[in-house]
Chain A
Amino acid sequence: MNQANQTGQTKGRWRLEPRLTPNRWVVGLVSLGSVVAALVVTGVIFAAYGFNPLQAYRDILGAIFADWRGAAEVVRRAIPLLLAGVGILLALKARFWNIGAEGQILAGAVAASGVALFVPVPAPLMIPTLFIVGFLGGALWSFVPAILKVKLGVNEIITTLMMNYVALYMVQWLINGPWKGLTTRGFARSDPFPSVAELPTWGATRLHWPTLVLGLLFAIGVAFLLSRTKLGFEIRMMGESPEAARYAGVDFFRTTLLLMLIAGGAAGLAGVGEVAGIHHRLVGPDDISLGYGYTAIIVALLARGSALAAILTALFLGLVFASGDVMRVVLRLPAQMTDVISGLVLFFVICSEPLMRYTLRWVPKQESGQGANDGVNDRVGSSPPPPPTVSEPVSEGD
């Protein structure tokens, strides 16, 4: 304010001001913006490989949407992302960081495989049974961290993450040991499921639609749960202010368990979809999940708390997954490019967080001092924010 008066004209500057109420359109635009930013940076990487980025994107999209099968492939990838992502989003509402969807997917897959392989369920009941058992498997897997957190205060990020490895090695042990197939010629995988345990698919694609229907119902259900039910209100209270939730009398134990039953169970359903819909047997952990449980975290964060928006974000990240094959074939790029893209999306989603809480405002100002138009009355206030002496006491707490 002291020095900037060289031109003497009406000037101003951009100022960050806190936004009082986050606007839904702003949230949407900022999320879209972070996706665009991620794609721009990816474009730079394409360029470094010697491709024209726009042409590369055009080629990839063209190859994916060349026929119905490609589009179906995108949706197929979105199914586990949607189920696990909406569950993560729900848990996040209560400030429960569920990094364990990957393990919950595997647990659901194992539970369903056990039934499909070894339990003679009457044919019409087989598929519903698989989903129920898979749901319980995923829920069981998430109970351990949930109980540890509420009863002992153990950090759930660590426990959910660690439970992923337990699930991973459990699957490897099963397919190398007790469940190793007799007809697999030495490959580490189980015998195929009986045909009654195969999920129907849409036409000639691999789109196992029953799981898709479950995923869409789940997203709608969670949106309803959060906005209209007592449990949803309790979850939001717990997440926004644990102290006030305690005051309000929320039962943290019961609510956290219910929440994780739902979130873990949904991830378990995703696992059922993968083994019963695609592989039709229990295969290696990397083949079952491809990291859906981790990418689902991005689905949840990008949806910014809206279960319905997660349908869109799951489709987008499904597209990223599907583009991996195309990039390898069409552009001869490593398939890990998909991880680069989703990583960048996550990066920009987190970076753009403050943009929703603040708004940029152009503040015009006319310099005072010796200027000709030193009109005292028409100066609009734009003083610098108070120096930190006032807002931050210089004291170290012990």
Chain B
Amino acid sequence: MHGITKRFPGVIANDRVSLSVYPGEVHALLGENGAGKTTLISILYGLYQPDDGTMAIRGEPVRFYSPKDAMRAGVGLVAQHFMLARRHTVAENIALGLEPTPWWRPTRRLRHDIRDLGERYGLSVDPDATVAQLSAGEQQRVEILKALVRGADLLILDEPTSVLTPQEAERLFDVVARMRREGKAVIFITHKLGEVMAVADHITVLRRGAVVGSVSKHEASPAQLAQLMVGRAVEAARVTPRHDEREVILEVREVRATNRRGNEALKGTTLQLRQGEILGVAGVAGNGQSELIEVLTGMRQPTSGSISLDGRDVTAYNARQLFEAGVAHIPEDRNHTGVVPSLSVEENLVLRQYRYAPYTRNGLLDARAVAAFAKVSIEAYDIATPSPQTTTSLLSGGNVQKLILARELSGEPQLIVAAHPTYGLDVSATELTHRALIAQRDRGAGVLLVSEDLDELLQLCDRIAVIFNGHIMATLPADEATHERLGMLMAGMTDERTETAETEEGVVA
């Protein structure tokens, strides 16, 4: 790709971007949200037409008017959100839209290919399994197989690890390594530096639509890449785990709760959180984290068990009462729960405290008090908004999260419950969120941090609890936790197995 430029009304999404990928190379495309990675890939895959610039495959100039053209030229895309018919089998999904597919028993000839490719690249999937039964990692393998069956020589993986467990991600890296060995080219899109260092041969960094650096892995360091990506030096905020026995602020005892479908999701969860500590909760999505958060913030009533906050029994409290008792909640779904998208930024900044003075007096809202608070918050948290009256839905994800932090942390809460607070955020917004949480910890508040990003947990937490199937499997001091140990616990394996895993790791290292 040479000199690719793409303009959208008001922005230049790609500004003269050039990119060369060689066979047998894993090329990482690194950049923050909105840096233009997805636009560039959409052009390469024939979804958008470039306004300027040329593309060539094996020296031949090409122009793709649709994904079909791209596929024919050997370009395959594994999108972030899988495009599979969930009720159909793996083989049927791969056959769907494949050109020489016979109309009768369409999957007959494919079986062989699927097995063959699966063995060659470590992509084992049962061709007769229904997609709905597969884990995210397996579905991703189906997507990769789909591209390979179509003869892709250049495979684009768009943020491929965002849906995977650490173990599944390891397996994916292994698949990528095998593809490299087979002479395939891979474009690996991500904003996680650790992954780049793990898989890439060559790294191109995009910022604001333009290439700001292109280096081979040997010449790159994570700090330097982060700086290129963000445009300034980034220093990861880090916590040195504490071991002193401070006072317990939150005590959760034998809590049970059902999920939205009425099945029991928390099956006697017990945990303790101390003042001035960040307690991480690690786990594969769907093991009771969401329900734990809801129970702790009054969005869901537990069916049994007790919760006490600073010695007070708050088991039956609702969201308002818990907020009044000093529980801040940074919700999982920031756009639908954390804010009302159609209301203005200033209205959303007082979404939780609007009913108290000075914002409400005698049932009347005081617009001046709201505006004053908005002004202070927008400055303190550097919320990028055209004006305080702007509709919140126009803000980027990072700015919505800043708005929520500004609101939730304004009242010096005793306990902060943060659910996936940096999910989908870019480096700068992530950094700001981390610093804000650490500042609360250092002030003496208790922070419960639920995250699927183990690096984030290891970086920020004093202790890490692992939740599996509604139980806390174990709580480890963060300086004793490793990816492997946490990963084992997240998969529900007991502590003895963890011990063996640890010794194995010791041998390898």
B411 CB → nearest A CB, Å: 13
Contact A379 B52 (CB under 8 A): yes
Contact B86 A398 (CB under 8 A): yes
Picked from A228, A236, A390, the residue with its CB within 8 Å of the CB of B79 is A390
Contacts of A231 in B (CB 8 A): 363
B364 at the interface (CB under 8 A from A): yes
Contact B340 A241 (CB under 8 A): yes
Q: Which of A368-398 contact B (CB under 8 A)?
A: 376-377, 379-381, 383-384, 386-387, 389-390, 393-398
Contacts of B355 in A (CB 8 A): 230, 249
In whole angstroms, how far apart are the Cα atoms of A306 and B291 in the complex? 39
Q: Which of B283-338 contact A (CB under 8 A)?
A: 297, 299, 318-321, 323, 329, 331, 333, 336-338
Chain A 12-27, CB-CB to B under 8 Å as 1, else 0, gives: 0000010011000000
A229 at the interface (CB under 8 A from B): yes
A243 at the interface (CB under 8 A from B): yes
Contacts of A381 in B (CB 8 A): 6-8, 51
Picked from B6, B9, B85, B360, the residue with its CB within 8 Å of the CB of A394 is B85
In whole angstroms, how far apart are the Cα atoms of A37 and B229 in the complex? 54
Contacts of A380 in B (CB 8 A): 7, 51
Contact B360 A230 (CB under 8 A): yes
Q: Which of B331-371 contact A (CB under 8 A)?
A: 331, 333, 336-343, 347, 351-352, 354-355, 360, 363-365, 367
Contact A247 B329 (CB under 8 A): yes
Contacts of B7 in A (CB 8 A): 380-381
**Given contacts A387-B47, A395-B82, is CB(A247)–CB(B331) below 8 Å?**
yes
In whole angstroms, how far apart are the Cα atoms of A245 and B52 in the complex? 47
Contacts of A125 in B (CB 8 A): none
A46 CB → nearest B CB, Å: 41
In whole angstroms, how far apart are the Cα atoms of A379 and B299 in the complex? 53
Chain B 6-47, CB-CB to A under 8 Å as 1, else 0, gives: 111100000000000000000000000000000000100001
B180 CB → nearest A CB, Å: 27
A244 at the interface (CB under 8 A from B): yes
**Given contacts A233-B347, A394-B83, A396-B87, is CB(A244)–CB(B340) below 8 Å?**
yes
In whole angstroms, how far apart are the Cα atoms of A279 and B83 in the complex? 65
Contacts of A397 in B (CB 8 A): 86
A179 CB → nearest B CB, Å: 40
Picked from B131, B320, B365, the residue with its CB within 8 Å of the CB of A233 is B365
Contact A393 B52 (CB under 8 A): no
Chain A 221-239, CB-CB to B under 8 Å as 1, else 0, gives: 0000000111111001100
Tally of contact residues, A, Cβ under 8 A? 40
Contact A387 B67 (CB under 8 A): yes
Contact B337 A236 (CB under 8 A): no
**Given contacts A248-B319, A390-B42, is CB(A228)–CB(B86) below 8 Å?**
no
Contacts of B82 in A (CB 8 A): 393, 395
A6 at the interface (CB under 8 A from B): no
In whole angstroms, how far apart are the Cα atoms of A2 and B69 in the complex? 14
Contact A389 B319 (CB under 8 A): no
Contact B343 A398 (CB under 8 A): no
In whole angstroms, how far apart are the Cα atoms of A21 and B344 in the complex? 11
Chain B 51-83, CB-CB to A under 8 Å as 1, else 0, gives: 110000000000001110000000000010111
Contact A240 B340 (CB under 8 A): yes
B272 at the interface (CB under 8 A from A): no
Q: Which of A187-234 contact B (CB under 8 A)?
A: 228-233
Picked from B52, B318, B360, the residue with its CB within 8 Å of the CB of A376 is B52
In whole angstroms, how far apart are the Cα atoms of A240 and B338 in the complex? 13
B223 at the interface (CB under 8 A from A): no
Contact B86 A395 (CB under 8 A): yes
B84 at the interface (CB under 8 A from A): yes
In whole angstroms, how far apart are the Cα atoms of A380 and B5 in the complex? 11
In whole angstroms, how far apart are the Cα atoms of A349 and B354 in the complex? 34
In whole angstroms, how far apart are the Cα atoms of A247 and B353 in the complex? 11
**Given contacts A230-B363, A233-B365, is CB(A244)–CB(B351) below 8 Å?**
yes
List the count of A-B residue pairs having beta carbons below 8 Å apart. 121
**Given contacts A381-B8, A387-B66, is CB(A247)–CB(B365) below 8 Å?**
no
Q: Which of A231-275 contact B (CB under 8 A)?
A: 231-233, 236-237, 240-241, 243-249, 251
Nearest residue, chain B, Cβ from A398: B132
Contact B51 A379 (CB under 8 A): yes
In whole angstroms, how far apart are the Cα atoms of A394 and B82 in the complex? 8
Picked from B49, B352, B354, B364, the residue with its CB within 8 Å of the CB of A383 is B49
Nearest residue, chain A, Cβ from B336: A243
Contact A229 B364 (CB under 8 A): yes
**Given contacts A229-B365, A240-B343, A386-B47, is CB(A393)–CB(B83) below 8 Å?**
yes
B38 CB → nearest A CB, Å: 9
A151 CB → nearest B CB, Å: 16
**Which label, helix, strand, loop or mixed, suits the secondary structure of the B interface?**
loop
Contact A249 B86 (CB under 8 A): no
Contact A383 B81 (CB under 8 A): no
In whole angstroms, how far apart are the Cα atoms of A390 and B47 in the complex? 8
Q: Which of B80-113 contact A (CB under 8 A)?
A: 81-87
A24 CB → nearest B CB, Å: 13
Contacts of B360 in A (CB 8 A): 230
Contacts of B341 in A (CB 8 A): 240-241
Q: Which of A54-71 contact B (CB under 8 A)?
A: none
A152 at the interface (CB under 8 A from B): no
A1 at the interface (CB under 8 A from B): yes
Contact A393 B81 (CB under 8 A): yes
In whole angstroms, how far apart are the Cα atoms of A237 and B131 in the complex? 39
A232 CB → nearest B CB, Å: 8
Contact A247 B363 (CB under 8 A): no
In whole angstroms, how far apart are the Cα atoms of A273 and B452 in the complex? 62
Contacts of B49 in A (CB 8 A): 1, 383-384
Contacts of A17 in B (CB 8 A): 9
Contact B338 A2 (CB under 8 A): no
In whole angstroms, how far apart are the Cα atoms of A379 and B5 in the complex? 11
Contacts of A396 in B (CB 8 A): 85-87
Nearest residue, chain A, Cβ from B341: A241
Picked from B340, B367, B391, the residue with its CB within 8 Å of the CB of A21 is B391
Picked from B52, B331, B343, B365, the residue with its CB within 8 Å of the CB of A230 is B365
Nearest residue, chain A, Cβ from B13: A381
Contacts of B372 in A (CB 8 A): none
B394 at the interface (CB under 8 A from A): yes
B423 at the interface (CB under 8 A from A): no
Nearest residue, chain B, Cβ from A383: B49
In whole angstroms, how far apart are the Cα atoms of A397 and B394 in the complex? 28
Chain A 280-304, CB-CB to B under 8 Å as 1, else 0, gives: 0000000000000000000000000
Q: Please give 5 more A-B residue pairs, beta carbons under 8 A apart, in addition to A236-B340, A395-B86, A397-B86.
A: A244-B336, A246-B337, A376-B52, A380-B51, A386-B42
Closest 5 A/B residue pairs (Cβ): A249-B320, A383-B49, A241-B340, A381-B7, A230-B360
Can you report 20 residue pairs joining A to B where beta carbons are below 8 Å apart? Answer: A17-B9, A229-B363, A230-B364, A237-B340, A241-B336, A241-B340, A244-B339, A244-B340, A247-B299, A247-B329, A249-B318, A249-B352, A251-B320, A377-B52, A379-B52, A380-B7, A381-B7, A381-B8, A381-B51, A387-B47
